[in-house]
Amino acid sequence: MRYSIAIEPGDETTAFGVVVPDFPGCFSGGDTLDEAIENSKEAISLWIETVLDDNGTVPAPGKLIDHTKNPEFSGWTWAVVEIDGALLDDKSERVNISMPKRILARIDRYASAHGETRSGFLVNAALERIVHG
């Protein structure tokens, strides 16, 4: 997926600012133009993850030509960044993991007692750890 970014000019004393018009509140920056563009990719990825974790929807990329007509970004530089489409893919994928049998038995007991599947429990536990540390 490719998203447009608007880059506010920087100089030797001011960082370059980046706004992602397709994602409200998504912004970034960098000391150099290259750094600003690279940092925008991380900002977009985090924005997408946060919205999806909150059960929101991610807007489709708008057209660059339409964004450039926005007077709010007059005099800004434009770029397009590529974002891994896997960020939006909720399709299940079979994985092979290893763990001690005693831990697996505890997971199964807990999941069963709480009306969950093993996979559902592991996914929820992983997300809880990722989101809340």
Return the closest-CA partner of residue 46 out of 15, 67, 25. 25
Q: Which two tokens stand for residue 22?
A: 């397709």
Contact 48, 83 (CB under 8 A): yes
The CATH code of domain 2-88 reads 3.30.160.250
Return the closest-CA partner of residue 23 out of 67, 89, 53. 67
Averaged pLDDT for residues 78-94: 88
Q: Cβ atoms within 10 A of the Cβ of 27, count?
A: 17
Q: Which residue has the higher pLDDT, 87 or 40?
A: 40
- Residue that has been written with the tokens 């996979």 in this structure: 119
Q: Which two tokens stand for residue 18?
A: 């980046």
Tell me the helices (H) and strands (E) count for the chain, helix number first. Answer: 4, 4
- pTM of the predicted protein model: 0.73
- Residue 87's Cβ-side half-sphere holds a number of Cα atoms within 13 Å equal to 21
Strands 2-8 and 77-82, sheet pairing: antiparallel
Is 90 exceeded by the pLDDT of residue 106? yes
pLDDT tens digits, 38-58:
999 999 999 999 998 888 999
